[in-house]
Structure 1
Amino acid sequence: MQVKTHVFSLKNKYPFRIAHGIRYETQTFILELSEGDTVGLGEATPVPYYGITPEVMEKLVLENKEAIEDTAWDSPFEYWKQLAPFLGTNTFVQCAVDIAAYDFWAKKQQKPLNVALGINLNKAPLSNYTIGIDEISVMIERLKEFDFPIYKIKLGTENDIEIVKALRSVTDAVFRVDANTGWGVDETIKNAIELKKLGVEFIEQPLKSDNLEGMKDVMKHTCLPIMADESCVSEADVEKCIGNFSGINIKLAKCGGITPALRMIKMARENNLKVMMGCMTESSVGISAIGHLASLLDYVDMDGAMLIANDPAKGVSLENGKIVYNQKPGTGAWLI
């Protein structure tokens, strides 16, 4: 087995603003695991405010190159477990290696990843398309660019309800809203009343990630389901969300890849939590991996590759919210 890394600078099609700030480009980390003619691709977009950069990721891979290349494994689950002592301090590197391992494993079997995992794709939900915070006229323009049945609207401004009302005036699509920790308890409860009238399906992460006491109050009084995002980063966080949220949004890069994500899905189901999987600003490599897990989810947000102007890969894609698979072995992604 040989390991190879790439860093790509992904240019946003438009400035992407959320409650945390604004981004114009994002660096992503793509990793190859190869043996002979078989190449597995994995990806994780590092998050600088977590202290993770491509340089940090490359350094960790180089420091553990021998373990990554020489560890013997029959299943990606086993490989993840064996590498955890070496990579476990950086879930982003774990994720890139893990996705590459699943892609490699399925390609060795000459099967699409979902088939290798025993997942029937007929139950895959539709993906939403994300509208970042901007002037209302610009947000309307972005919404009209694609004919999606579901839109995720980023909020956390002083005129959030006004924004949703304006967007509702031009479409009958389902809305989801994501405050990215930008609201307080009373604000969330009050906003939910108006948002429900406006056809919003659920609210994602309204409070600060550690404000679980506040979430107890929200859950007692809100009229809309509440999904955890920043409050549910790792496997250990799922338990904290039980009773404090209606469901969880899993990000592969943040939790450490497909292996822990599958465990998180199982635990959520056992505790009657809804399950969503979201994406970062990432290429079709990471998006394709999400696509093969979609039938295990209630909701999916996999529009990341659509938000960039220079995708370095091709693979699973979206067409008006519907996931389009290419039936290639592995995740179906390749670098171009």
Structure 2
Amino acid sequence: MKVYYRTYDLAFRYPFTISNGRTKTHQPTFIVQLEHLGRVGFGEAPAITYYNIPVEKMVEDLERKKQFTEKFAFTEPERYWHYLHHLFPTNPFLVCALDIAGWDLYGKFKGKPLCQLWEGNTGKQTVTDYTIGIDTIEKMVEKMIEKPWPVYKIKLGTDNDVAIIESLRRHTNSVFRIDANAGWKKEEALEKIQAFKDLGVEYIEQPLAKDDWEGMKWLYANSPLPLYADESCVAEHDVDKCSGHFHGINIKLTKCSGLTPALRMIRRARELNMGVMVGSMNESTIGSAAIAHLQSQIDFLDADGPLLLKEDLATGLHYENGNVATSGDPGLGIRFTDLYQK
């Protein structure tokens, strides 16, 4: 097996801001390519600053152990993930990129799209939201009107959160999902959630700090809307901790280290009677295709990365009125674009 990689800095359509004033104009991302027995698999891991794994760290770790990555006798992706998990124990982002590429390869060997390799209703489509980042109220309204969509994910965590939702609601009947990115305190959260419950809000994502388990237990008992964990649910061992504190979990492939653990997290959440969403970390079409193949397994989908980026790296996803369809080709079903090939 041969391993190749590329790094990119993809521009956003608009500056992307979440709570605590974190703004970025570009999304750094790491693309890996596995070649084995005449087939090629692709994977992606975007870099997120506050997780302290930049693309440079992914490159450094892969280069240091590249020969071991290539020497593995690949037969199926679960075995490969376990090998990678031990090879790169402190770099789940790199493991994710390689795991997705392994699944892409495996799907091509089997001649099937990934969704057909897993249990679930492969005909089920789960509407993806479209994210509106924090901005002035006027600009957030403008972004929403520019992109008519059945479900919007609204980033909050400001002093004007209720006013933002009230203003957006005056311009659309679409469903709202709110992501506070750990930007509230518990009493503030409950007050805002009570205001939101009559404004067409479906659920609240990560209202409190990731380690405020006591606050989340209190909010869970009192919230009139469902609460979903994001920053509080990074890896597999976090799923059980979220039970009794959240109504559901948001799985991020990059954070949990790939599709292989994500599938186990979905199963465990179901055993605990929790809802499941899979979220975006602003992946290009490569990583977003991996997310989209999971839609038959989950309740809520956040796979809007390619819609938020000014630049993309591949084709193979089709977005229409909230639905995202994969191409039907084996594996991820994506094609790397000539513009970015090196």
TM-score bracket relative to the smaller structure: over 0.9
Q: Quick check: 1:293 aligned with 2:294?
A: yes
Q: Quick check: 1:311 aligned with 2:312?
A: yes
Distance 2:185 2:295 in 1: 32
Tell me the TM-score normalized by structure 1: 0.98
How far the C-alpha of 1:249 sits from its partner, in A, is 0.2
Distance 1:67 1:320 in 2: 44
1:170-225, Cα deviation, whole Å (9 max, x unpaired): 11000010110111100111111110110100010010000000001101111111
Q: Quick check: 1:278 aligned with 2:279?
A: yes
Tell me the TM-score normalized by structure 2: 0.96
Which residue number in structure 2 is paired with residue 10 of structure 1? 10
1:85-106, Cα deviation, whole Å (9 max, x unpaired): 1112100001000000000000
3-state SS of 2:237 partner:
helix
3-state SS of 1:230 partner:
coil
Q: Is the 8 A contact 1:146 1:320 kept in 2?
A: no
Which residue number in structure 2 is paired with residue 264 of structure 1? 265
Distance 1:281 1:82 in 2: 27
Q: Is the 8 A contact 2:327 2:334 kept in 1?
A: no
Q: Is the 8 A contact 1:124 1:296 kept in 2?
A: no
Distance 1:276 1:320 in 2: 19
- 1:1-336 aligned at under 5 Å gives the runs 1-20=1-20, 21-336=22-337
How far the C-alpha of 1:119 sits from its partner, in A, is 4.3
Moved more, 33-42 or 206-215: 33-42
Distance 1:118 1:219 in 2: 31
1:285-330, Cα deviation, whole Å (9 max, x unpaired): 0000011111101001000111011112112232121012211111
Spell out structure 1 runs of 4+ moving beyond 4 A. Answer: none
Which residue number in structure 1 is paired with residue 340 of structure 2? none
**Which ranges of structure 2 fall in alignment gaps of 5 or more residues?**
338-342
Q: Is the 8 A contact 2:126 2:301 kept in 1?
A: yes
Distance 2:48 2:138 in 1: 30
Distance 1:272 1:117 in 2: 20
Q: Is the 8 A contact 1:124 1:297 kept in 2?
A: no
3-state SS of 2:123 partner:
helix
Q: Is the 8 A contact 1:10 1:309 kept in 2?
A: yes
**Which ranges of structure 1 fall in alignment gaps of 5 or more residues?**
none
Q: Is the 8 A contact 2:157 2:183 kept in 1?
A: yes
Distance 1:127 1:27 in 2: 23
Q: Is the 8 A contact 2:85 2:92 kept in 1?
A: no
3-state SS of 1:227 partner:
strand
